[in-house]
Structure 1
Amino acid sequence: MEESTNAFLAHLPPDTPYYQYAGMGQLEDLPSNTDFVVITEIAPDTVDSTERFPGRVNYSPTLRILILKMVNEVHEIAAEKFVVMLAILTERMAVRRRITNRGATRTETPGRCKEADRSWAPAYECGQTYLEWPTVALEVGSSESKAKLEKDIAWWINGSKGEVRQGIVINIQKASSSIYITSWMPAHDSSNPTTGGSRSRPLNVTREQPPRLIQSITINHGKNGKPATLKGGTLTIPAGHLLNDPTSATGDFIFTEEILLEDIAKPIWAAIDAEKGSVERMG
């Protein structure tokens, strides 16, 4: 069933600017001080032939509507710090060469063309055909709605029929400096990554059931001399979500509370503070 215009554009901020496509030159002048930009009446051939847009691509070829997530420094620091820490974990476990970092590689289906903020999959083996989907996808939002982020994760998991085995959300609320990290898996996946459960084969997800929330972590910035707080424990990516042969791994990939706080949250807060200071100086 084709998605309606209202469903595709659901949960975007009310102040999102809309433009009718008027040529490639238009893309150079899009506003950067907004979370999203919507471009209507843009043909599939144009999207297919354009390698880079000034934001993350989320395109409906049937509706001919392109949603661009306009990334900023806070957003990119969050995504890149996550990438760096996962790389360190894979190095420690001696499996770095067995995982492919797909970055924001575009995934194309008849009904949607989309880029995650970052994504990963098992490394290709000799003779293996191209993987249409990553197995783990990361979506980052800086002050965008919780519902929009969860909708994107639902598309990755359900749209891939379980090929995407785990979706992770980093939701940054700049006003409060609170960071919410959630982890999602297919509704029919009974494994529990918080207790070391792993699997190596994707599920055949056939029904549009909402993905299952596995982990929920809240990190609050300590203010007025108070220390930062973290609730929800560690974040786990099961070895079977990133490796073709998880049985040979020494365990799952664990983002400890120290990693989440010191290596991910604190750099995000520093970037938020710098951004606020810049705005105040300009004001």
Structure 2
Amino acid sequence: MAAIISRSTTSPSVSASSVSASSAVPSASTILTSVKSTKDSDPPTVRFTNTQDLFDIINSTTGDFLTVTNVSPNQFTEIERERDIGRRNGQKKRYRKFRFRRYNANSQILIITITTAVHEALHLGLYMRYYAQLARNGTEESWKDIGTETFRQQGHPAGDGGEGDSTGGPWPERGRAGNWPTLVIESGYSEILPELQKDMRWWFQESNHQVKIVILAKFDDQQHHILLEKWEEEISSPQGAITRSRAAARSQNGVLNPVKRQSITITRDETTNPVSYNVTRGALVLGFRLLFLRDPGPQEGDFVLSIQSLQLYAEKVWAQLPRSD
């Protein structure tokens, strides 16, 4: 189903599936009663006019994902500044928290993540379970929680940018401001899986491969499951004939490409009493070397989120769903 942008009673509704025509994209100055997004549909899309109206639209969006067009680099900087000022000083009007999923200066498209209860439970539930293992192993002082810092494309400080849902890296190796994380967790409720996978590729590419692990957590309400994907990179050797142009594009030993190392599905079974959660394809494993950029020492090793831990995680995610009654 298409996402529907509901206007006031004097204006017709606009389908987000029609936004390919520029005239069909509502502007951020349009007074909206609500911006609705059905799960796994095209995200609602609006055209930017000014920061204040954009914040009002974010307030009325029901999903966790919003696309904003016609955002120049200077306007992106303005949006970021006004958001951060509001965080520090508070606002006369209460605005919802949001993050910049991705910004592309060439296309002038800004994708915004809105912090709904389900969205936050999806990524924080995984990250906090990982961090709890750090604490149990006594290695939390060697880890920096980077959080939702805005990361910029290298060599392009005023252009492309993005913020992760949960991020972190080793201390002190990634301890300075602006250092890229080794671990990124991105979640999605109304955001479709292909968009999440674009986020994954962005992190690897724009960090110049300093990001080592990207975990995607996608909630599918219709299928009653959570999909977890763990992505890493590996060197892929060139295939086929090596032309001069291909040789220039690839190093002699190949290039780094994203590889899906794990795909785990957690399904809710409401036929049991109590409700149960079935985990397919085992526990989620995070490699120590990729996280900490060194070999594990004594009493150190990979971090394993067990099947039981993932079942408890899923239970808490489902508890955040809005009630239908």
Report the TM-score, using the length of structure 1 for normalisation: 0.79
Contact (CA 8 Å) 1:158, 1:186: kept in 2 or not? Answer: no
Query: Which has more radius of gyration?
Result: 2
Q: Tell me how large the CA RMSD over aligned residues is.
A: 2.8
* Partner residue in 1 for 2:181: 134
In structure 2, do the counterparts of structure 1 residues 25 and 185 end up closer, same or farther at CA, with 3 Å as the change threshold? same
Tell whether 2:307 aligns with 1:254.
no
Alpha-carbon distance in structure 1 between the residues aligned to 2:130 and 2:70 = 39
Aligned partner of 1:235 among 271, 274, 284: 284
In structure 2, do the counterparts of structure 1 residues 13 and 216 end up closer, same or farther at CA, with 3 Å as the change threshold? same
Counterpart amino acid of 1:37? L
Q: Structure 1 residue 245: deviation in Å?
A: 3.7
* Partner residue in 2 for 1:178: 225
Contact (CA 8 Å) 1:40, 1:64: kept in 2 or not? Answer: yes
Aligned partner of 1:22 among 50, 72, 75: 50
Segments ≥4 residues shifted beyond 4 Å:
128-131, 206-210
In structure 2, do the counterparts of structure 1 residues 210 and 245 end up closer, same or farther at CA, with 3 Å as the change threshold? closer
Contact (CA 8 Å) 1:17, 1:36: kept in 2 or not? Answer: no
Query: Once the two structures are aligned, what percentage of the paired residues are identical?
Result: 22
Q: Which runs of 5+ in 2 are unaligned?
A: 1-19, 21-39, 85-96, 238-250
Contact (CA 8 Å) 1:170, 1:181: kept in 2 or not? Answer: yes
* Partner residue in 1 for 2:98: 55
Alpha-carbon distance in structure 1 between the residues aligned to 2:289 and 2:194 = 28
* Partner residue in 1 for 2:72: 43
Q: Structure 1 residue 22: deviation in Å?
A: 1.9
- 1:193-239 deviation line (CA, Å, top 9, x unaligned): xxxxxxxxxxx9x9886510101111100112263211111111111
- 1:127-182 deviation line (CA, Å, top 9, x unaligned): x7545311111110114211111111111112323211111011111223301111
- 1:30-76 deviation line (CA, Å, top 9, x unaligned): 33213422222323233335253742211112222211122310111
Contact (CA 8 Å) 1:121, 1:134: kept in 2 or not? Answer: yes
Greater RCO between the two (CA within 8 Å, min separation 6)? 1
Tell whether 2:234 aligns with 1:187.
yes
Aligned partner of 2:134 among 90, 95, 108: 90
Contact (CA 8 Å) 1:143, 1:174: kept in 2 or not? Answer: no
Q: Secondary structure at the match of 1:81?
A: helix
Tell whether 2:197 aligns with 1:150.
yes
Counterpart amino acid of 1:258? Q
Alpha-carbon distance in structure 1 between the residues aligned to 2:317 and 2:176 = 38
Q: Structure 1 residue 247: deviation in Å?
A: 2.7
Alpha-carbon distance in structure 2 between the residues aligned to 1:125 and 1:209 = 22
Aligned partner of 2:116 among 72, 87, 104: 72
Tell whether 2:155 aligns with 1:114.
no
Report the TM-score, using the length of structure 2 for normalisation: 0.69
- 1:80-105 deviation line (CA, Å, top 9, x unaligned): 22222111100111100101111111
In structure 2, do the counterparts of structure 1 residues 24 and 88 end up closer, same or farther at CA, with 3 Å as the change threshold? same
Tell whether 2:270 aligns with 1:223.
yes
Contact (CA 8 Å) 1:120, 1:137: kept in 2 or not? Answer: yes
* Partner residue in 2 for 1:195: none
Counterpart amino acid of 1:29? I
Q: Secondary structure at the match of 2:234?
A: coil
Aligned partner of 1:163 among 188, 201, 210: 210
Counterpart amino acid of 1:97? E
In structure 2, do the counterparts of structure 1 residues 243 and 267 end up closer, same or farther at CA, with 3 Å as the change threshold? same
Count of residues paired in the alignment: 250
Q: Secondary structure at the match of 1:254?
A: strand
